[in-house]
Amino acid sequence: MSQVLGSIEPVLGHDCSPAQGATRRDLRETSLYCGDGSFNLRTWRALLSALAANAGAPACQVICPFGFEVSRNPDYLKKDLLNFFIYLGVDNFDEEDQRSIVTSFASSLLLVTKRDYSEFNRDIRQIITPFGRIQLAPRGQKSIYIKCRRVTSKLIEEYAQYMLAAIGGVVNRQIKAIVEFERDPLSRRYLFQLGIMWSHIFAADHFALAGDHAEILMEHVRTLLRAEYLGADRNDSYPSLEEHQILNSIIMPYVQDLYRYVCPPGESDDQIVDLSILDYHGQNYLKASVSRGLLMEKTRFIVESYEFFGQ
C-alpha cells in the first residue's frame, strides 16, 4: 500500500465551520459534514484527489459523480448519501496494475477516514471493487464502489461523453442497466436515475421528462434504495409489473426520442462524432453517433455541473 497516512492531512471545507465550542479533534472527526448536516463535497473531493495522487500510478485522476450534479440543486447534499462511485483514471495499466491501484486506494481511504472522519467511516457498510467486496460495519448504510479506467484525456470529460453514449446504450440494449434489468435492482435503479439525469441535461432543449414522469422515476429510485438497505436479496429481486411499465412506457419512448435528437437525420458526416465508451458499470462499449455541436455543448454542461457543484 502506498504510504499516505503520514502525508495526508484533513482538508477542511472553507464554508463548513465547527459548532460552537468544538475542539480541533471534533472538527477532524466530523468535517465531512457541514454545520447544517449537509455532505461536505469540497472536502470529500479534496480527500479523494490526495489519495489518488498517492495511489501508485502517475497522473492518476479521480472523480466521484453522484448524478444529481446535473440538477445544479445543492439541496441534494442535505440527503443521506448512500452510494459512492469512485473512478480512477490512468492512461495505461494492465490487470495487475489495476489491482494494485484500486487496492491501495481502497486501503488508504479506509485508514484515512477511520483516522480523521470517524463518523463517516463507521457508516461504511462495504467497499466493492472489481477484485472483491470488503464487508465492514453490518449496520452501516454507505456502499463505496471503486473502479479504475484507462483514459488518455480528462476523466470528467470522458464521463460527460459517456452520458451521451449511454443514450445509444439504452436504445441498442448494450448498457448493463438494460442487460441486467430483469435480475438486478441496482441496474433498474441506475436506469431510472439516468432518465432523471437526461431530463436535466436536455431540459434547455425542451427534452425534459413529460408531466409527472420524473417524480415516478424518483419514487422508484427511493423504493429500490430502501429495499437494498433493508437487505433484499439482489438475486431474487425481479422487476415488478410497474417497473416493466416504466421501462416500456416512460424510459424507452423518452430515450428513443433523445437518440433521434442527438443525431438528427441529414447531419453531414463531418458534423457527426461516433462515440464508443466503455460502460461505467458494465463490460460493453456503448456507441452513439452525436452531433458535434451538441456533443461539445452537453460535455461542457456536464463537466461544469460536476466541477462547480458544492464548491
Phi, psi of 144 (to 5 degrees): -115, 125
Residue 5 lies in a domain: no
Residue 8 lies in a domain: no
- pLDDT value at residue 3: 38
The yes-or-no verdict on residue 44 having pLDDT over 50 is: yes
Which residues make Cβ contacts (< 8 Å) with residue 1, sequence separation at least 6? Answer: 103, 104, 107, 108
**Model confidence at 1, in pLDDT bands (50, 70, 90)?**
very low
> What is the domain range of residue 122?
24-152
Residue of 83, 13, 60, 9 lying closest to 41 (CA atoms):
13
Return the H-helix or E-strand segment holding 278.
strand 272-278
Q: Are residues 101 and 235 in the same domain?
A: no
- pLDDT value at residue 297: 97
Q: Are residues 256 and 196 in the same domain?
A: yes
- pLDDT value at residue 8: 41
The yes-or-no verdict on residue 162 having pLDDT over 90 is: yes
Of 102, 119, 152, which residue constitutes the final position of a domain? 152
Q: Tell me: the pLDDT tens digits for 248-272? A: 999 999 999 999 999 888 777 789 9
**Model confidence at 177, in pLDDT bands (50, 70, 90)?**
very high
Q: CA-CA distance, 44 to 102, in Å (whole number)?
A: 18
Q: CA-CA distance, 261 to 89, in Å (whole number)?
A: 30
Q: Are residues 145 and 165 in the same domain?
A: no
**pTM for this prediction:** 0.88
Residue 16 lies in a domain: no
- Residues 46-55, mean pLDDT to the nearest whole number: 94
Residue 303 grid cell: 463537466
**Model confidence at 21, in pLDDT bands (50, 70, 90)?**
very low
Q: Are residues 141 and 193 in the same domain?
A: no
Residue 3: DSSP 8-state = -
**If DSSP codes are grouped into helix, strand and coil, which group holds residue 8?**
coil
**Model confidence at 246, in pLDDT bands (50, 70, 90)?**
very high
**Are 70 and 200 contacting, i.e. CB atoms less than 8 angstroms apart?**
yes
Which residues make Cβ contacts (< 8 Å) with residue 104, sequence separation at least 6? Answer: 1, 2, 54, 55, 56
Of 102, 126, 152, which residue constitutes the final position of a domain? 152
Domain count along the chain: 2
User: If you count them, how many residues does the chain have?
Assistant: 311
